[in-house]
Amino acid sequence: MTFRSLLFVPGSRPERFEKAIASGADAICIDLEDAVAPADREKARENLSALLSHERPERPAIGTRINGLRTADGVRDLNAVLGWRFPDFIMIAKADYAEDVGLANELFGGKKSVVAAG
């Protein structure tokens, strides 16, 4: 998975999703982590789910950056993402342990790209 450009968009700002998709970036990453206030994270998951429920034949790759898997929000994020056909990739924030990436890869059965983000 290599992109020339990757545009991050806060998951709490769904009004920015369409503009990001139309931006010409190779990929967009809907952030559920540090760009979203903890009180807004559940709504951000719902916003991302709504975005991913629409089939888009021509679109950039759409991924998400989730909270670290050793946090309650990270477990909630992972649980939400497991039920979606998309995103195309998942970035795990603060992935300090290789086991976290391995667990995500195992849960997704190798069907999604999992990236560790420091």
The pLDDT of residue 118 is above 70:
no
Q: What is the mean pLDDT of residues 7-22?
A: 96
List, in order, residues 6 or more apart from 56 with CB less than 8 Å away. 21
Average pLDDT in the chain: 88
pLDDT (tens digit per residue) in 42-90: 999 999 999 888 777 778 999 999 999 999 999 999 888 887 777 888 9
User: Are the C-beta atoms of 68 and 94 separated by less than 8 Å?
Assistant: yes
Confidence (pLDDT) at 67:
94
Query: What is the residue extent of each domain of the chain?
Result: 6-117
- How high is the pLDDT of residue 26? 93
Secondary structure, 3-state, 6-44:
EEEEECCCHHHHHHHHCCCCCEEEEECCCCCCHHHHHHH
pLDDT of residue 99: 86
How far, in Å, CA of 118 to CA of 99, rounded? 14
Ranges 39-43, 46-50, 99-103: which has the least confidence: 99-103
Predicted structure pTM score: 0.89
- Higher-confidence residue of 53 and 24: namely 24
6-117: in CATH 3.20.20.60: yes
